[in-house]
Structure 1
């Protein structure tokens, strides 16, 4: 978000709020936006047109033209589909209850009761103009009205509306699917009140968790303008130099800092017909010249659309999946013959050079530096995209930061165009571009001539970027804490090969995992113990968080497997004891501890969070104890913590622990993982745990929670005891597992794992109602883990997971 804009008008917009919204149009985007509003706790009306006439199915159900069920049919059907959608638009299935269906004939008057109306009707200017004019007639004073469009002029839509209406009108371009795509392009109109722009940028960042960029009202705005250009340039290079579909994707995917879907898989996912529409939008809007030539839709795309080969939704596009006797195969399209052939693996020196290094920046440099046919393709595409981005600065957006963020958040690039330009060397690359006949914008050459060697610059822990001819500091929201920036400011307190302890300020420290995939090994466990001592002596509290792609994928599986296969059981026992002891040190720390997990938080990652006083889940948290998938059970305190939580929730000695134990047993035995932070809260959450919508705010919120607890007079956790279900409870769980085995749902080895798990969760061979210590439960965990690790089938599962990346059911 543009912080300066928000700051200048914050005092004027502080009193404004959005407590209820309405979405007009219940298609894929409309229903998806309504779902995300529901995710944010905003009740929403979802309105669509009344169907023209009842279908045979309607008549069979007794629905007539005047029946409300029939008249609301489109919106009702869209809402009903949300919990079942493969794109999982809702954080929790019951959030659907926050959406109310209706139609624009009978319920338009209800728009006067909402604070934000989002128009998401067909991408045709005249239809949008008509619906917005109707909205103007019923809307109350001050209601914000926005349009979700991928590229139609925001100003043209409301040219027939009053100035007063236009002051509260703005473009809000959500990317599909709205829950999962971070980018939200906000497009102010000529008459949009700056206070509305500032409020919407702030609200959508904080409440909806979006990455907001300010775009100008130009064809396709920022992300689609540059992204579409890049895809078309790639097609031109492909046809000119006879590359195959697979070769293009190999050279324009992760090796170039782009998603695995690269070019053609992306087009298949987006829909080739949709892409053609977006490209045509620019073609129709720009004057004759080189840019219009680039946006001329290639004949091959028009042919694919004509044949219905429009990608995944059409069953085939540039790729086609076919089933044969040996299973499914992926075919790729030969554009010269329009026939499908088996997809071929692409190998080259440049691709292998990129794969040999870790980190997107190193990959890009290694790939482009290894000169061959594929790196040449990538360079020929990249140089044109960089120059085009520079040409459009000032036209599509004023800030290179907005352009870079739009491409990272909208197209999932690792680096934006200007960040990439810095990476490959600005002066050197410009010199090469010009030598190859490319015309580089004058402002870029002037910037270099002034002695600047990059668009971004770091100085004294702050980041500066090019802005209208000078360096301007990148303003960071107070709610965003960057560990990378703090490390650049020498705020590291302790470090080793797997973790850092970082000073967050205000005497709060942060434990950051840095190992590959943030997997927990001995280095992280040692740092946990050292961090506990450091915080105990010198800090007010501890945050556990990191900026990796995922919070933690679990314990170091390879290490465990190697030790088991070598028969060094004493070493394995020591590692488990170290893990358990480290978690107990966190739990017993005399200062508050808050964990802030994000995205994949599995196995040992969950166990590193459970000892914390509070967990602040990112909305996108996939949280679960998944050890049974590799033939083990949690042994870092996960079973123990859930047994304690069950006992704590049912403190009355006469209360029945069994229903909750059944739930927990199934959750762990089936290796269930939450699909969101909200679901994680329901599965694992305690009274004080919470969810933060914007993942970028999680470290700040965790720090604030530490300070809040410390100011309130934090009382450390005392050693806990658990009332357990004992032999009787274990029998219930094991009978359930036996039934699944006898029915063929689980294997003999699954049954063995389930029996061990049941033994631990219920407290072992004791009477029902026995009260046991934490250490007693930890010992049960460790014994079960060691026993299972010695099983050949468990080791086979571990090996399969390490080599194939998916579980083996043996």
Structure 2
């Protein structure tokens, strides 16, 4: 389905509260000019409320802005003086408090100032979109809909679009395309029912967990130990999630369900427990007030004991026997074992699964268009690895349906409502042809909007046809090279966390041989959310234990050759980064012709953490880039880059990576992770089609020399004497300084890349033989965190 082009140049956000300000921040991240409105301030400048909100964005953690300078693209405004600015906005997002009367009052005020084509969307988590539309001036209704961002908007993939009966169909398609590509979101079209899809089911699942915790006598800290990553859900699990969201916000969503769903069979469950009401009354609202279900006293973490009404030390974990059951790989066997166990914690977990299955089956016809929307909404909005329908289907649809039915009949479920008939007529809800819609009694295929042609491998659901990652051209144990027949060879690293060992380097070299003979370009991309955590230290262990230093030095040299091969290959090379891009992974990306980075790429040369220096060309690359940028003063261009290596500075976004110098101005930032491969391939093909020639080897570039190294070492001495760094930190920092400034030569000396690479190898090997570095490496391999010694 093709839709007409819709360009969003400017967006107004009405309401500078937490959500409004952060939506404006993410628009600015995406190069969209944002105007942030709020009421005129009673004192000081009239834009005071919006100005304060913009300033706060620079300090928040996790950062709503991909770089602090992005705040400049948000213009503060107030309703008294600036409504005329709305006429130039392509989209207006209203994000004020969840009160129907306030919202409708604002619509009356702004309607005369909107452009004829302006889309007007309300960011609400639960108010009826049709009721709001009825209260809208008639001129707005065709271009009105609901839009529901999840908090925090930069990081949460889900956005729900909620059409009203008057919403123009083409407008909705245009908005969806903008949200998907420009803002990088996963879009679900939700029905206009209370709390829409994700909150309706996600909040129900939390209420069911609270109910079952009380029923089986499970402490809150134990619930969180059991319902986090062990269940394929976020670390914040159940109760910590409520603290993070804000207990008042959580209670508000529950109250919406209580007020607007009187006919829901589970209505009695939709109320805040007494302990929650008491916490809110006392101002204990969770993370934002630093006390909620959890709190800290000094270094001690405490958790609420609701029966006693007081806090106890949060030191209890789930039963080991139950955790063993949760490790069972087969989902059907896992659920069976939990269901059959007499252990209250196992019973609690089965009840949580069962009660969610029960709810989604009964409500699928009214809450969502189809089962895919339910699963993706919960995955993207609540951070589950697998949606509830997927879990049910993976565990054996018919068998689980019988278990749920038996529990309903035995009076074990929260309500006695039977499962709908369609449940027993099917083998599951997701098939290759689409996902089941209970309201249509049919399979619904995925959207055919143009924007989804860019997602070569969209989010995969259990039961859908498994993705075919092209035809294998070459494969060894470290890397698979494959093609989809478009002239691009895609390299996917196969090792755990995509660590780079000898097999990966051999695979890169072999793939480049093949590409130079048969393909237009090369892209390094993997289907999961890590680019590479760096060099595979464990692959060096055998040689390390045997003291075979020559063999390790050869590995480092092979790594450097792999980097240089990417730089000087006869076909264009593109790194498609996402998630961790650390150490050797960063070095490989830096040597490609182009990086296409997902916004959430976390990039750094972090070797200092294990007592080493970048040995795969990272020091060389920074020395070279500094020389190319320097206007006469190489040292000035080098200082910040030196610090990035010496402090293992990690960029928290692709834009920060560009600012630090890991990425270049010509590198591309993509907002939707599912579009990353498409854009990377297009970049490789564009370079090839424009008559690509490998860069000529740099004959000589200036280095900062002894004087530059001495200046850095002087600062390191001060840091060591001030107790900021250890003696070993000083030793590593001094060695990095010697390498990156070109060694024992005069300032301004011309050297080539091989010169610095040799210094890198020598420095790396001397550190590897150092006892303190060996302690750091052993500690990292054992504990997965750095040691300061």
Measured against the shorter chain, the TM-score band is over 0.9
Question: CA contact under 8 A between 2:629 and 2:637: conserved in structure 1?
Answer: no
1:783 to 743, 759, 762: 762
List aligned pairs for 1:60-79, cutoff 5 A.
Answer: 63=44, 69=45, 71-79=46-54
Question: CA contact under 8 A between 1:591 and 1:710: conserved in structure 2?
Answer: yes
List aligned pairs for 1:86-485, cutoff 5 A.
Answer: 86-288=61-263, 290-323=265-298, 328-343=299-314, 344-354=316-326, 368=338, 371=341, 372-437=343-408, 441-448=419-426, 453-458=427-432, 464-467=434-437, 468-475=440-447, 477-482=452-457
- Quote how far apart the aligned CAs of 1:556 are: 1.7
- Alignment of 1:678 with 2:655, yes or no, is yes
2:538 to 558, 565, 584: 558
Question: CA contact under 8 A between 1:256 and 1:363: conserved in structure 2?
Answer: no
1:530 and 1:148 map into 2 onto residues whose CA distance is 51
Superimposed CA distance per residue, residues 744-784 of structure 1 (whole angstroms, 9 cap, x where no aligned partner): 22221111111111111111122333322322221111110
- Quote how far apart the aligned CAs of 1:101 are: 1.2
SS of alignment partner, residue 743 of structure 2: coil
SS of alignment partner, residue 170 of structure 1: strand
CA distance 1:370–1:621, shift in 2 (3 Å): farther
Question: CA contact under 8 A between 1:251 and 1:377: conserved in structure 2?
Answer: no
Other-structure match for 2:636: 659
Other-structure match for 1:587: 567
Superimposed CA distance per residue, residues 556-607 of structure 1 (whole angstroms, 9 cap, x where no aligned partner): 2334456435423123212212212222222222111100111211111101
- Comparing 498-507 with 117-126, greater Cα deviation is found at 498-507
SS of alignment partner, residue 84 of structure 1: coil
Structure 1 gap ranges (5+): 1-6, 55-62, 64-68
2:626 to 637, 646, 651: 646
Other-structure match for 1:3: none
- Quote how far apart the aligned CAs of 1:446 are: 4.9
2:690 and 2:32 map into 1 onto residues whose CA distance is 31
- Quote how far apart the aligned CAs of 1:440 are: 5.3
TM (normalized to structure 1)? 0.91
Question: CA contact under 8 A between 2:489 and 2:521: conserved in structure 1?
Answer: yes
Question: CA contact under 8 A between 2:473 and 2:482: conserved in structure 1?
Answer: yes
Structure 2 gap ranges (5+): none
2:423 and 2:145 map into 1 onto residues whose CA distance is 35
1:729 and 1:593 map into 2 onto residues whose CA distance is 33
Q: Report how many residues are paired.
A: 768
- Quote how far apart the aligned CAs of 1:243 are: 1.0
TM (normalized to structure 2)? 0.93
- Alignment of 1:727 with 2:717, yes or no, is no
- Quote how far apart the aligned CAs of 1:475 are: 4.9
1:800 to 761, 779, 786: 779
Tell me the C-alpha RMSD between the 2 structures: 2.3
Question: CA contact under 8 A between 2:335 and 2:350: conserved in structure 1?
Answer: no
Other-structure match for 2:476: 496
1:354 and 1:576 map into 2 onto residues whose CA distance is 41
- Alignment of 1:608 with 2:588, yes or no, is yes
1:260 and 1:785 map into 2 onto residues whose CA distance is 36
2:63 and 2:359 map into 1 onto residues whose CA distance is 35
Other-structure match for 1:66: none
- Comparing 169-178 with 296-305, greater Cα deviation is found at 296-305
2:326 and 2:728 map into 1 onto residues whose CA distance is 40
CA distance 1:289–1:743, shift in 2 (3 Å): closer
CA distance 1:571–1:231, shift in 2 (3 Å): same
Superimposed CA distance per residue, residues 25-67 of structure 1 (whole angstroms, 9 cap, x where no aligned partner): 1111111111111111111211111234x3xxxxxxxx4xxxx
2:601 to 617, 621, 627: 621
Question: CA contact under 8 A between 2:372 and 2:430: conserved in structure 1?
Answer: no
- Quote how far apart the aligned CAs of 1:108 are: 2.0
SS of alignment partner, residue 171 of structure 1: strand
Question: CA contact under 8 A between 1:257 and 1:361: conserved in structure 2?
Answer: no
2:678 to 693, 696, 700: 700
- Quote how far apart the aligned CAs of 1:160 are: 2.5
